[in-house]
Amino acid sequence: MEFEVSNRSGQHAGKKAAEFFTRPGLSRLAVKLYEKYIEVGQVGGQVILLDATVDERRDIASFLGKPLYADTRLKVRLKDVEKALEHSFQCTLPDMLRAHFPDKELVTRAQQRADHAIYQAHFRSALSSITAELPLESRGRYWMEQGTHGQEWLFSRYKNAKAEEQERQLQLVRYIAHLLNQLPQPDAPQRLALFAQRTSGDPHTLDPDRPAGRLLLLALNDLVQGASDTAVAHFDREQALRLYGDAGLLIDTISSSVAVFNLAGAVYHNGDPDQLPVVAGRRVLLLPLSQLLEWGDVLPARTDIFVFENPQVFEEVIATLGSKRNVPSCVCTAG
C-alpha cells in the first residue's frame, strides 16, 4: 500500500514537471534528456544543446539555479536536472520523462536488448518443444535436428519476427514436422491434395505456392541424402515432382505420359489382365501416369525392353521395326 501511494505521488508530480517542460525554453531539452536516458539506462552523463535560443538559455539556467548561459552551446548534466526536479516538483527524472512522453516506453537500450534476448529465447524454446514431441528415429525429428532448413534455420529466419508471425510459423512447423512421419509408403502413394485434406482439412494446404507447401518441399529436400541448400523458389517442376515421388505423393497423373510400343500385356493389381496392350498390337499407346499406376505388372514382348528419351529416335526405331517379326517392346519417356 505504501509503495502504491508513493508511485501515485511520483506520477502526479511527474505530470506537473512534464507540464513545466512543455514551455518553449525547455521542450528541446526534454527530448535530449529522454534520448540520453534511454541510451545510458540511468540518470548519468550529459546532453549538449546546440544553437540554444535566448529563451532556452534563460529557462534552463533558471530551472537549474545557475547564472545565465553566455554560450549558445549548452552542456546539461542529467544529475543536475534530477536534483532540480526533486527540489521543485518532488519527482525523479524518469517520473518526468514518463509523463512528458506518454506514448513512448521508457525502456533503456540495455533493457531493450535484454527483453529482445528473452523474446528470441522463447521462440527457440518453442521450436525445441516441437522437436521434443517427435519420435527419436522419425523423419520429422531428423529434419528438425539435422535438416538444412530445420530448427536452426527456422530460428535464424524468424527470431526477430513479430509475435503473431512467430506463432504462425510455429503452427506451420509443427504441422510439417508431424506430417513427415505420416508420408505414404512408396508402394501405396497418395495424391498430394488428398493427403493435404486428410492431414489439415484443406486439399490446397500443401500446394507449392502455399506456406506449408513451400516448407514441405524444403523439408523433403533436406531428407534426401546429399541434398543441397536449395531455396524453394529455385525448385523447378521436375525437381518438385521427384521430391514428391520419393515421398509417395502424386501431383498430376494425367499430363505426364509415356509412349509404349508392342507390349504383350498388362495386369491390374488384383491380378486381372488389361486387354488394352493386346488390342493395340503394334500401334503406339500414349499412357498417362494414372494408367501405369493402375497396373501391377506389364508383360514385354521379349525379355529386353528398349527405353528411349528422344521421341524422334523412338519413332524412327518403331518405323524400322514395324514390318519385322519378334520385335521388342519399346518405351519413350519424353512425355
Rounded CA gap, 311 and 257, in Å? Answer: 12
Q: Which residues have CB under 8 Å from 306's CB, separation 6+? A: 317, 328, 329, 330, 331
pLDDT in tens, 165-205: 999 999 999 999 999 999 998 778 898 999 999 999 999 99
Q: Has this prediction a pTM greater than 0.75?
A: no
Rounded CA gap, 286 and 57, in Å? Answer: 92
pLDDT of residue 127: 97
In the predicted model, residues of the chain with pLDDT beneath 70 are: 1-10, 225-234, 252-255, 335
Rounded CA gap, 101 and 240, in Å? Answer: 54
Question: Strands, E, within the chain: which ranges?
Answer: 46-49, 74-77, 190-191, 249-250, 257-261, 263-268, 273-274, 284-288, 295-300, 305-308, 329-332
Q: What is the 3-state secondary structure (H, E, C) of 121-159?
A: HHHHHHHHHHHHHCCCCCHHHHHHHHCCCCHHHHHHHHC
Integer-rounded Cα radius of gyration of the chain? 37
Residue bearing cell 535484454: 114
Which three-class secondary structure state does DSSP give residue 298?
Answer: strand
**Whole-Å CA distances, 166 to 119, 150, 159, 160, 180:** 11, 15, 8, 9, 21
**Listed residue (108, 99, 154) closest to 131, CA to CA:** 154
DSSP string, 185-232: PTTS-EEHHHHHHHHHS-TTTT-TTSHHHHHHHHHHHHHSTT-----G
For 184, list phi and psi in degrees, rounded to 5: -65, 160
Rounded CA gap, 293 and 190, in Å? Answer: 11
> What is the DSSP pairing of strand 295-300 with strand 263-268?
antiparallel
> What is the DSSP pairing of strand 249-250 with strand 190-191?
parallel
**Under a CB-based contact definition with an 8 Å cutoff, are residues 296 and 269 in contact?**
yes
